[in-house]
Structures are given as C-alpha cells and as structure tokens.
Amino acid sequence: MTKAAFASIVLAAGKGTRMKSRLPKVLHAIAGRSMLGHVLSCLKTAGAMETVLVTAPDHEDVRAEALNHVPALRSAVQVRQLGTADAVKAARAEIASREAPVIVLYGDTPLLRSETIERVVAGTDNGTDIVVLGFDAADPTGYGRLLTDADGHIEAIREELEASPSERAVTLCNSGVIAFRSAALLDLLDDIGNDNAKGEYYLTDVIEIARSKGLASSVVECSEDEVMGVNSRAQLAQAEALMQHRLRLKVMAEGATLVSPETVYLSADTAIAEDVTIEPHVFIGPGVSIARDAVIRAFSHLEGAAVGERASIGPYARLRPGASLSEGCRVGNFVEIKNTRIEAGAKVNHLAYIGDARVGQGANVGAGTITCNYDGAAKHFTDIGDGAFVGSNSSLVAPVTIGPGAYVGSGSVITKDVDAGALAVTRSKQSQIDGWAARKKRAQSENASNNRGNKTAAGG
Ligand code: UD1
Ligand code: CA
C-alpha cells in the first residue's frame, strides 16, 4: 500500500494541571521518550509530510522537544485555551497544502500506533470528508459520544455535558483523533460557536456543521488502550505499563529471549538483535543497542550504550552514555563504564570504574581498577593498550596511557605513561620481620598477667 501524503496538527496547549508538575504534561516521559515524542515519531512513521504543533505561549521547552523529533515542524501558539476548535484554528494557517488530508491529534496520547494513524487517513480516500477515530469505552464518562446513523455515518459528536441520558448510554466515544479529507475543510471551523456548558469552541461540533452541508463523516475504531490520554501521574504509570508490555512483545518477536519479561524495562528506541538473552531485572534507558548473541545478566542498568556481539554484561553492571563494547568483551559485576570504548575480547570483570577511556583488544582490567578521569575541573582520557594487564586495585590517573602488552602491578597509582610491554608498580616494597607474630603474642600475654596482678593488689 502506498502511503497517502497528509498533514498533521498536534494539540498540546492544555495546562495538564492534574499532573501537579512544573513540567508541561506532554514532556513527561514513557519508555524514555516524552509523550509528545511518541506522538511525533508515530506521525513520522505514518508518513506525515508536515506537522504543526499547537502550544501555550510560554511553552518554549515543548517546541524545543518537538523540533528534536521533527526538524521541519512548525508551531502555532494558542494564546488562550478556548477549546479544541480554537486550537485547530490557531494551526490552520500554518498548513501549506490545501488539498491533502489533515489529521488532528493530541500530544498526550503516547500509545497511538502509526498503523492506526494510517487507517484514519486512508478513511478519507473513498470520498468520506471527515473520519473520526472512535473506541468502545468501558466507562464512557467524560468522553464525547459518537452518534451514528443506520449507515454508520456520524451524525454528531455529543460532549458529556451536553448529552441527554440516552446519548450518555452510548459507549462509542471520540478519541480526539480526527482526519479531514483536505485542509480546506478546516474552514468549517469558522461556523463553530461556544454556546455550550463549558463556553468552549468544541472541535467536535464540526461533524454536525459538515452534515448540514451534505458532507459525510464516518468512524474508524481502535482499542481503548491505544487512545488512552494521560492526565495524572497514575495514568502516566498505566501508560508506561502498557508501553512496556508492547515493547517486550516487540523485542521477543524480533528474537530476543527475556527470561522474565515483566521485570525488564525497555526504551522506545531500544534496538535488540536476534539471540540476545536478557536476564531478570534489567533496566534499559534511551539510546541502547545490543548486538547478536550478547547476554545482559540480572540487575544491570544500561543507557546510551552499544553492546557488541557475544558480549556479556553483568550481573549488576552499569553502562552509561558513550559505553561502546565490542564483540566478545566481558563487563562483570559492580562495574561502571562511561564514555569508553572496550575493544574485542577485553575484560573488566569486577568492581571497577572505567570512564573516558579506551580498553584495547584482549586487555584485562583487574578488580577494583579506577580511571581517575576527573580532576575537579576537567575530564581526561585513559588509554589502555591492546593486551595490557592492569592489576587489581589500581588507580589510573588520567591523562595516562598504558602501552600495549604492558603490566600494571596490583595496587599501583599510575600517574605517568607506561611503555609497551613494561611493568609499572608504584606501591612501596614489601618488607618482612621473621618471628614477629610469636613475639607479639608473648608480649600481650605478659601484659595481661601483669594487669591481673595489679588489680588483685588494688582490691586487697
Ligand atoms: C476532548 C473531546 C472529546 C473526546 C476527548 C478524548 C472536544 C470538545 N472534546 O475532550 O470529544 O472524547 O477529548 O480525550 O474536542 N487543547 C488545546 N487547546 C484548548 C483545549 C484543548 O490545545 O483550548 C488540547 C489539550 O492539550 C488536549 C486536547 O486538546 O491535548 C484535548 O483537550 P481536553 O480539554 O482534554 O478535551 P476533553 O474535554 O477531554
Ligand atoms: Ca482530555
């Protein structure tokens, strides 16, 4: 199927007061991506050719986030929140094409899928002027009801406060997603008034106005979950749970084994190749890719990291942004890696911090090794050469280079470069005192018996 070219208008000027947050509602994240980001990337996947975002006047941060996802985005400011029709009117002039379909949706419905957007837009193909995405609500309270005729055309959308008791019994509801066969049809919005219970300009009134002009509206349905709007923190958590479920199913369908899927947290952009195994209780933040046959063991935390083929991570490993692990390398328990390339077959197996560094091919970094990358002002680089061996509990004070094949003796504090193949040790030499333990014990027991004697004398 060739995708229809269409424009889109995303409404996000609402206050979102129930979130009790200084952050605008649509910037709250689900699976590591803002709700607005989900809606915009979905539009991109569906093939939207132009997108206009409607925000409140003071929402620069909302516009900035939107531009991260759609560089060609245009925005319109709705000065006062006078209703959904008013919001669309604020955006109308920014739509370049009068002929192509235009879809209106909300910035706070992060679970909407691109396939559904495509279905709604495609609904305008066969001469239908307006297509509304509807759903059958378990509890329709608060939603606009879709009132349909015998042919399945929509006669009107009735908002909760205007609905009669029999209309309130209708469970087919308006999701808020509405497509118009052409942007020219948005001129119908000029006829919408605000003589209603809320004193708002309801976009939903456009259906009756269109019908009075002989234009046809129809409904496309989707599941209630998909058009769930997020208005509170509890709903944010609910949307997160639904999204996590969806992402887990997706990575498993693509060939990953999740031993205990409900304990693994993924991000919207997580890329996992075939035959990757993820053990229980793993958190994967934004920007992570995991190549074939890698194993992520229990209780690991990853963000902004690339894991190579056959690599083994964890248990209890932390990969921070810029960690780039090549094939077959091993990062073990209680190891933190940041902004570091670990080359093929290298090992950092226990209790280490490696930041702003390169660990060469086949190198071995011992337990307790720390790259001292920060001097309180700036970050510095550590280079550990191919095949180098860093003994346990060493501090590598950056900037510093450990040459290929070099050894660092355990417990060293390395402040100067180590040449290829050399051994560097900085700890003081071990000395030995023969028979010291026995002499110490004898002295202790003599002390003790003297003390007892003193006590007896004092008590007598
Ligand atoms: C709206 C629909 C209702 C539908 C419901 C689905 C109308 C009149 N009603 O009701 O039929 O069942 O959504 O959730 O359209 N917004 C602006 N500017 C405004 C007002 C709203 O940008 O002046 C944005 C909000 O940020 C939000 C969206 O539009 O993203 C919906 O607004 P909201 O006030 O939540 O509409 P509802 O009353 O829930
Ligand atoms: Ca709402």
Q: Which atom of ligand 1 is nearest to the CA of 229?
A: 14
Does the pLDDT at position 457 exceed 70?
Answer: no
Cis check for the bond before 261: say yes or no (omega within 30 of 0): no
CB of 205 shorter than 6 A to ligand 1: no
Instruction: Please work out whether the CB of residue 78 comes within 6 Å of at least one atom of ligand 1.
Output: yes
Residues 64, 183, single domain; the answer is yes
Q: Do 157 and 173 fall into the same domain?
A: yes
The yes-or-no verdict on residue 110 having pLDDT over 60 is yes
The answer on 359 and 217 residing in a single domain is no
Query: Residue 456: pLDDT band by 50, 70, 90 thresholds?
Result: low
The DSSP H or E segment spanning 319 is strand 317-319
* Band of residue 15 on the pLDDT scale cut at 50, 70, 90: confident
Ligand 1 atom nearest to CA at 109: 30
Pairing of strands 413-414, 395-397: parallel
Mean local confidence (pLDDT), 384-408: 98
What is the tally of helices (H) and strands (E) in the chain? 8, 34
What tokens were used for 392?
Answer: 């346990």
Which ligand is closest to the CA of 14, given by its number? Answer: 1
Give the whole-angstrom CA distance, residue 193 versus residue 211.
16
Q: Are residues 208 and 117 in the same domain?
A: yes
Residue 102 covered by a domain: yes
Say whether both 223 and 278 belong to one domain.
no
Residue 459 lies in a domain: no
Same domain, 33 and 139: yes
Tell me which of 192, 209, 227 is where a domain ends.
227
For the stretch 216-228, pLDDT in tens is: 999 999 999 999 9
Last residue in a domain, options 185, 201, 227 = 227
What span, in angstroms and rounded, lies between the C-alpha atoms of 445 and 425? 39
| Pairing mode, strands 323-325 and 347-359 | unpaired
pLDDT, one tens digit per residue, over 43-63 is: 999 999 999 999 999 999 999
Q: Is 350 a catalytic residue?
A: yes
Domain interval for residue 357? 233-424
* Angle CA 416–420–422, to nearest 5: 75
Asked if residue 202 belongs to a domain, the reply is yes
Q: Is the pLDDT of residue 453 over 50?
A: yes
- Indicate whether 144 belongs to any domain: yes
> Within this chain, do residues 162 and 255 fall inside the same structural domain, yes or no?
no
- Model confidence at 460, in pLDDT bands (50, 70, 90)? very low
**Does residue 131 surpass a pLDDT of 90?**
yes
Same domain, 214 and 352: no
Q: Is 110 close to ligand 1, i.e. is its CB under 6 Å away?
A: no
Contact 311, 317 (CB under 8 A): no
321 located within any domain: yes
* Count of domains forming the chain: 2
Q: What sign does the dihedral 320-236-265-272 (CA atoms) show?
A: negative
- Closest ligand 1 atom to residue 108 Cα is 30
Residue 31 covered by a domain: yes
Domain match, 202 and 243 both: no
Q: Is residue 1 part of a domain?
A: no
Q: Quick check: 123 and 220 in contact, CB under 8 A?
A: yes
CA–centroid distance, 135 to ligand 2, in Å, is: 15
Assigned domain for 41 exists:
yes
Percent pLDDT > 70 in the chain is: 98
Minimal-distance CA residue to ligand 1 atom 37: 143
Q: Give the number of other Cβ atoms within 10 Å of residue 342's Cβ.
A: 29
pLDDT at 144 over 50: yes
62 contact partners, CB below 8 Å, separation of at least 6 = 12, 24, 26, 27, 36, 53, 55, 56, 107
What pTM value is reported for the model? 0.93
Asked if residue 194 and residue 179 are part of one domain, the reply reads: yes
Say whether both 286 and 388 belong to one domain.
Answer: yes
Q: Is the CB of 106 under 6 A from ligand 1?
A: yes
Domain final position from 192, 212, 227: 227
pLDDT reading at 405 higher than 80: yes
The domain that holds 130 is classified in CATH as 3.90.550.10
CATH of the domain at 300: 2.160.10.10
Query: Does 129 share its domain with 240?
Result: no
Single out the catalytic residue among 28, 281, 350, 380: 350
For residue 104 and ligand 1, the question of a CB distance below 6 A is answered with no
Mean pLDDT score, 20-37: 97
